[in-house]
Amino acid sequence: MRTQLLRAVLAAGLLPLIVAGCQDQKFTATVLNPLNLKLPFLPYQKPVRIGIVHESAGIFDPSTWDIAQVGSPWTPLASRLQRHLRKPVQVEDLAAFQVAAHLQSGRIDFAFLAAEDYVKLADEFGSLGEIIAVSEVRTRRGLIVTKANSPVQSLADIRGRRFSFGPANDPVLSDAAKAALEAGGVPLDSLQKEVLPVPGSFQHHISSNESAFEIVHGLGTDAGVIEKSEYDAYPETGGSFLLRKFSKANFRVLGETAPLRVKTISEGPFIASKETAPELKDDVREFLLAANRREQPALHAMGLSAFRAPSPNVDQQIRQLATDDESQLAQDAP
């Protein structure tokens, strides 16, 4: 009796699967969700695949990645794109020739690479797809500031005072700030050194925001350096001690560091495969072109400031970017 009952239960359970398998090979499934949570996407959805080509240098040097917090540089942007599309997004680290093959076959939906790589591939393999956006590399600059009501009125007034730097060895918030102070007549040995945590050291903070907090609300710190892009995004007035938010009115700007172009994937195209669905292509284009306003931290994690719409003669635009990048590399060479 038990054997017959077991067979009946198994048959009843398998019947829907057999029927589903006979209906145009479609697969259906349900997801166990007892708390009725709003899922960003279903786990069996086909991912949107993006191929990316980079030299393992600068931001894309794996030895510099903070795996515990961010992971690879593209992780924040891929995560935000997933939310926008409500579909899983999978970024694949590929060689240039692999991108060409996978774009043309439709195995990947999109690709992002430098203009120089694109020109070489296009000359060898022909059309790779449609360029839906063109990247802009981020240029960083630091502002040397004091709080608005400070008696410090110029760079020279910083002599003998405590100064708040960003992370130690940061190329802008430490190295470039020190160079700007020296150039402004403030020798580094004239700055007041710290007692804690390391006696005789400079004052460093984990971020520009923490440095800003020390400058505005800290005791005994008269000046410091913050990220210019953050200052530019501050409102004119306001700010909050509890929320650690600031406005331009909290600061007096005394000077700035030299600009530093972030070492990342050089300006280049974001390409959609010819096999990519038009609706998906439009959704991704919309996300990229608005990212400089809505997803700035995710862009900055990749060393980018924005994605822009391609010009009407996009082939000429990309070839000019490739030429400009070669000139920039020649200038940067020792």
45-64 pLDDT, tens digit each: 789 999 999 999 999 998 88
Confidence band for 16, pLDDT divided at 50, 70 and 90: very low
Of 212, 201, 289, the C-alpha closest to 252 is 212
pLDDT of 11 > 60? The answer is: no
Which CATH superfamily includes the segment(s) 48-138+263-332?
Periplasmic binding protein-like II (3.40.190.10)
Across the chain, what does the average pLDDT equal? 87
Is residue 227 packed enough to be buried (19+ CB in 10 Å), middle (13-18) or exposed (0-12)?
Answer: buried
pLDDT in tens, 94-103: 999 999 999 9
**Residue 297: pLDDT over 80:** yes
Q: Quick one: pLDDT band at residue 195, thresholds 50, 70, 90?
A: confident
Instruction: Give Rg (Cα) of the chain.
Output: 26
Domain boundaries, the chain: 48-138+263-332, 140-261
Note the pLDDT of residue 19: 36
> Which of the residue ranges 57-61, 67-71, 95-99, 152-156 would you say has the lowest mean pLDDT?
67-71
pLDDT at 199: 80
SS3 of 244-270: the string is CECCHHHEEEEEECCCEECCCCCCCEE
Across residues 204-210, what is the average pLDDT? 95
Residues 6+ apart with CB under 8 A from 156: 184, 185, 186
pLDDT of 234 over the 80 cut? yes
Instruction: Give the best-scoring range by mean pLDDT among 33-37, 271-275, 323-327.
Output: 271-275
Give 13 or 299, the one with higher predicted confidence.
299
Looking at the predicted structure, is the pLDDT value of residue 85 above 50? Answer: yes
Q: Is the pTM of this model over 0.75?
A: yes
Whether residue 197 is preceded by a cis peptide bond, meaning omega within 30 degrees of 0, is yes
Residue 197 predicted with pLDDT over 50: yes
In the CATH hierarchy, which fold is given to the domain comprising 140-261?
D-Maltodextrin-Binding Protein; domain 2 (3.40.190)
Query: On the CB side of 38, how many CA atoms lie within 13 Å of its CA?
Result: 2
Report angle CA 175, 180, 185 to the nearest 5 degrees: 130
| Predicted confidence (pLDDT) per residue in 111-130, tens digit | 999 999 999 999 999 999 99
Domains 48-138+263-332 and 140-261 share a fold: yes
